[in-house]
Amino acid sequence: MVSSAHPVFTPAALGPITLRNRTIKSATFEGMTPAGLVSDRLIEFHRRFAAGGVGMTTVSYCSVSSEGRTYRDQIWMRSEAVAGLRRLTDAVHTEGAAAAVQLGHAGWFADPRASGERTIGPSRMFSPYGLTFPRAMTPADFDRLTGDYRRAAQLAIEAGFDALEVHVGHGYLLSQFLSPFTNRRSDEWGGSVENRARFPRQALRAVRDGAGSGAAVYAKLNMSDGFRGGLEPEEGVEVARLIESDGSVDALELTGGFTARSPMYLMRGDVPLAEMIETQPNLLRRLGLRFFGKKLMRAYPFEEAFFLPQARAVREAVDLPLILLGGITRLETMDTAMDEGFEFVAMARALLREPDLVAKMQAGTTSESLCIPCNKCMTEMDRDGTRCVFAADAV
């Protein structure tokens, strides 16, 4: 009865896999991986979303190589991490949900103190995150990193993941190539949109090769960077078309924003600057937030489904399955997404507030999340792990 009224609760194919419904817990940095390995808390974190009814939950920010980390304790894909990741996927599968892993590389804003290695990026320019000048990637770097993406995909399959999400958004390495703000190259890797998309497309093909035919592969793709001089919406549509033409992915998860320039563009709502200053472990960054935080952390008003207007343009341009995210808190919004031709919806903050939100919606006991866009959850990653500050039973 509920499923027929709300198609979001019906099973759906994502490439070669089938999800029990069309809801996805999107990737949010968890801060629960000491020594870059899976902890019991991380397993329980994702198990609760699975038990709470989502079709799939996503483990966030697993770097494809040591140098691509933003934090020392961030997971990077290596053989030592596989056993813990397998425990996590087993726990999620036991609850009836699928498990995805987000693969990425921080590139320009990786922290060299995390790995002891110099950071790299599309072009040489100062990074306010690494507080250094990353070097521009060389032909050898392109070859090596392409291999890293392929190897990371192979390890993810070994760990039992059903789907691999490649991060092509938020100012991470592949997004840096798309953005004219960070990609100032004049060779075949820069300039036109097609050239700027060359390495992201190459990395996606490498992940597809590594994943084989049994797992889903999809890209978390920026539609725009959210500031003048960055990736523009019409360019994002063109990138989506190019990726579709490669046949390398089974879907696109549509997002926007650039961590180093427009961090709140991808969150929307309140800016918890005081908490961000308090929990920032790096002294220089803490001072930077204190003196420049109000300018850097520009506020964007929260709107339900705030990425939907841009996502409609992508929907018109490609036939690939699309995952809509960005401020989805109501069942009515999910219905709208299905009506407008989006195959899946992804949520983060709403599920941090209520891990069992999907089950409650499906049972008809609620139609709207209790989440308010205070964004204090994102400050908790540097305190003791990402959580909703209003959820008494948070992991």
Active site members? 172
Residue with tokens 């999910």: 334
Tell me the C-alpha distance between 126 and 138, whole Å.
18
Residue 347 β-bridge partners: 25
Nearest to 393 by CA among 338, 335, 352, 334: 352
Rounded distance between C-alpha atoms, residue 31 and residue 36, angstroms:
10
- Structure token pair of residue 385: 């792990």
Residue count (the chain):
395
All residues at 6 or more sequence positions from 336 whose CB lies less than 8 Å from its CB, including other chains: 305, 308
Number of CB atoms found within 10 A of residue 26's CB: 25
In the numeric block, which tokens belong to residue 395? 């992991």
- Are 205 and 245 within 8 A, CB to CB? no
Bridging pattern class, strands 322-324 and 23-25: unpaired
Q: Strand 17-19 relative to strand 98-104: parallel, antiparallel, unpaired?
A: unpaired
Name the DSSP letter for residue 182: T
CA dihedral 281→85→48→369, nearest 10 degrees, is: 60
